[in-house]
Amino acid sequence: MKSRIDTLDGLRGIAILLVLAGHTVANLQPLGWLETPWIRALANPGGGVRLFFVLSGYLITHLLLQEQAATGSIGLLQFYRRRALRIWPAFYAYLLTLVLLALWFPTGLNVGTFTAAATFTWNYASFWAVPPPEGTWNLGHLWTLALEQQFYLLWPLALIVFPRRALWIAVALVIWCPLARVGTYYLFPAQRGLLAMMFHTGIDSLMAGCAAALLLQSAAWRERLLRCGRLAGSAALWLLVLSPLAALHVRGFGVSAGFTLDAAAAALLIAWMHRAPPAWAQALLGRGPLRMLGLISYSLYLWQQLFLSPDGWLAQGRLLAPLLAALAAAVLSYRLVEKPLLGLKDRRHRSPPLPGLPAKTA
């Protein structure tokens, strides 16, 4: 059995490109021809993070269900061990690098920010830590990994304890989150900047992927999916073009409905690319540069933050140097940290390896 789903690696490559484009357009000075609403909308890091989240929810659920069907159970401790081997080494290598760099210049680390980052609680860190300006950027993307780790901790338990209600739990959380975001916006104004980040207001993207994987256990739903090519194309158009433009022109769109609609569109696109990919999609996503970017996307997501900062090379108007540096750091991280430990994980587990995310991590 193949250890990777090539077309989904290609989608992961698209997700990291959206993140890179968004950070580049936001921080490059002077912007020149990039200073247009269209470019700012379509260079969409939020859409990339959403795609990462849905991919993670879908793949984790799909592979846990495979394990359950093959063995009759889900090995919880083995799952946590595999996730730790997949996520922790590259993450802590990045965090250690920030600690070492702090010997020469500010990186935003203090006791509060280091603790929040190291314990995967960054999405709630503002309740007890005040990051310096450098920490807001260098550690800011770690909210996505915090949210994913919290998901990894709880979702397998839900599948074990409530196997027949797991789909309803996923759907209920997808419905709950936009209501929770709007309610929090008005009732707790101080938390408005955290609405996409906190577990109880931002888990809908992961749950949309989980719901899609659970639905596709049914042969009837798999049969319906084969006829959804045009609908999947519409989902891609929504996710990559229409949604970011709507967010640009409609105040509060993302918080109220946009995040959830993006997640639903991404779930349909991912399911279709997994179960019924046409030949052109297999060629575009399953081979070539997009797939290669997908393979290193986790490391690239971690390390791009150091090089695409608002006061670094991009602030000096230099475009090529930070992108190449981020790519080089990601390749080194993948080769020296991720890949060897992925091999260890695979040797000790008989199921296909679990592809990870920065989500993630946004």
pLDDT value of position 359: 40
Tell me how crowded residue 85 is: count the other CB atoms within 10 A of its CB: 21
C-beta contacts of 23-26 below 8 A and 24+ residues apart: 23/304, 23/305, 23/308, 24/308, 24/314, 24/319, 24/322, 24/323, 26/310
> Which tens digit of pLDDT belongs to each residue from 87-122?
999 999 999 999 999 999 888 899 999 999 999 999
Decide: 354 and 59 in contact? Cβ < 8 Å. yes
Question: For 310-325, how does the pLDDT look when each residue is reduced to its tens digit (9 = 90+)?
Answer: 999 999 989 999 999 9
Percentage helix, strand, coil for the chain under 3-state DSSP, each rounded to 5? 75, 0, 25
Output the pLDDT for position 149: 97
Which pair of tokens denotes residue 39?
């470019």
For residue range 62-87, list pLDDT tens digits in order. Answer: 999 999 999 999 999 999 999 999 99
Average pLDDT, the chain: 90
Radius of gyration of the chain (CA): 20
Q: What is the 3-state secondary structure (H, E, C) of 155-204?
A: HHHHHHHCCCCHHHHHHHHHHHHHHHHHHHHHHCHHHHHHCCCCHHHHCH
In this structure, are residues 268 and 232 in contact, taking their beta carbons and an 8 Å threshold?
yes
Residue that the structure tokens 């049969």 belong to: 223
CA distance 291 to 143: 25
> Mean pLDDT per segment of 10 residues, for the chain of length 362 residues?
77 96 90 72 91 98 94 94 94 96 90 94 90 86 97 96 96 97 96 95 97 96 91 94 91 93 97 93 92 96 96 91 97 93 61 42 38
Per-residue confidence (pLDDT) for residue 356, from 0 to 100: 41
- pTM score: 0.92
**Residue 256 one-letter amino acid:** S
